[in-house]
Every structure is written in structure tokens, then in C-alpha cells.
Structure 1
């Protein structure tokens, strides 16, 4: 890098996003672009594996896809007892998408930015999961989906019962249960974003 003179400048350069706009309305275009590229890669890769699938001797790609599918399907069946045709594909999409985002970190740190500098982009942060906006949006998305499917399969009464009857079974302690469960429920997406951001920051 011609314009980076010190280790501090080098690190700061790699921590700078390709951003359009300022403040709250700023958009990190590099994160958005990488998310879309990885999402399309996932769709096309799995579509290709399915189109080439055979009941005979499977290819390596088919075995990999089947392994991932069976792993995610097993987790879904353990956690989500109700029958729903959309839960499995959603879980598979989130799992593979997040995996691909993190897999970018296995590339040399200058690999993607070197390519983007050729086309005139001086700042390009290629790890989308290091962007708190991406982790927050995914965490909130999953949080909303969890609430939506809980309401769908348990109803409002079942949801309230779940919040008020655990961990204490006494009716006198239902208000305490409600407070504890609400704190736990709300803290899940926040803790996920915080922990994930710390891990990604340390990794990079």
C-alpha cells in the first residue's frame, strides 16, 4: 500500500468501511455488497448441487450439501417440535449464510481489498460479520422470526404462559417469572451482537 506509512495507519485503513452517507443514515456499501455476493453464492451453489444430485455415487459437493442439510435439520427437529415447512429452509439459509460470512476471515487480509483497489476503491472491508449493522440486523431478524413462530404455533396465551410459569411454578411468583423471562428474551439479540462484534474485532 503506497499511502500507508505505519502499522497504525495500516490497521486503521483495514478497519475503515466504504461508506456512503453520514451518521445514522450512513450505509456501509462493502458490507452490503459482500452479504449479497455470499447470499447469491449460497443460492447458486446449493441449486447447482441439487440439479446435479444423483441417487448413485454422490459427488463431493452433493455429500457436503447433504451433510449440512442433515446437521441443520437435526438441530431444527430437536429445538422446534412443531411441524412447519418454512423453519428448515430458514435455519439452513441462516446457518450457511453466517458460515460464509465468517469464512471470508480465512482469506488473507489484503486479498479482497487488493482487488478492490484495482477498480478504484481505496477502502473496502471484506468481512461483513465485523460490521455491527449486519450482526444487529440478522439478530433482530431471527428474534422477530422466533417471536412470530412462537405466536403462530402457541398463540398469545401459550406465549404468555411460557413467560409466566417458568422457572417458578407458584402463581404468586408469576410476576417475577415474567420480569426474568422478558429480560432474558430482550437480552438475546443484544448479547449476540455484542459477543459477535467482540469476537470479530479480536479476529481482525
Structure 2
């Protein structure tokens, strides 16, 4: 039985493990780091430091086993200098030579991000796609927020999922160095 709930601070490690599994074949993650190995470290940096706003992570469980997760930033969220330093150092350890491409990616995201305040969906993933886990995670969070939401989809096959929840593509980003394409999406 699928259960979706807010992730506790103790759940953040499980969140990072699920996301590392979910994104193992993701075009952007593999562009950043062609060989898997630093994925878990990268997603730990996101879950524990960079997208770690209290009460803004969700965890999907199937019979008590983590199978999906989402990391959200509330409107106006920013991390402390200490959190940023810890997160960036953990990213550097995980990504190694891919860190340079990570900077390129973050700059592209920053240029594409719309003006104004919105909920930001940083990551959404399921360890086994196609079972409705992503939909359940989106339903839970979107039902409880007010105002617009924004995300970047790193995989074209996920765009229809977001569209079903009211997101619309606002821009297509082609990454350099034979990088993949991303789609920025806004839900008004």
C-alpha cells in the first residue's frame, strides 16, 4: 500500500537514497557524472543541505519501504552560508570533475528561473517509475500549497506528468558540450 507523508529529518538519508536510485539513468545526472558513483553523495548534499527547508521534503513508502521522494523549496527560501558551504563541499566530493558542469547547469537554471515568488520543486523521483509514485508525491504537496510552483524537468518523458498537474513548459534549455535538453515548467 502506497503512503506519502512529509519526510522527517531522520528520513533525509532515505530521501537521498531513493533519489540517487531514481536518477541513475537521468540524462542530466549522467551528463554531470558519466559514471555512477557520486550520485548518492550529490543527492545527500541536496537533501541534507541545499534543499533542506523544514517540512518541505516528502517521502513515498510502499509497505514501509521508501520508493519515492520529493524536495521542495518554499517561496523565498535560501540556505545559510554554513549550509551552502557544507552542501557545496559534499557536491564537490560526489561530483568531482562533474562539478564544473554543475556550475554551468546552475547558471542555466538561474537565467531561466522566472521572476517572483514560487514553490520550487528541486527533485522528484521514484525508484520504480510508472507506478504512480510521482503523481502521489505531486498530489500531496500541491494540495497543500498556495501560489505558483516551478520546476525543471530533466527528462522529456516526465513533462506530461507535470502537465497533468497544471505545469506548463515555459522554456527549453540545451546544455553545452553535447549536453541534454531540459524543460522549465511553471504552474500558476
> TM-score, length-normalised on structure 2?
0.29
Identify, as 1 or 2, the structure richer in strand.
2
Larger RCO: Structure 1 or Structure 2 (Cα < 8 Å, ≥ 6 residues apart)?
2
Identify, as 1 or 2, the structure richer in helix.
1
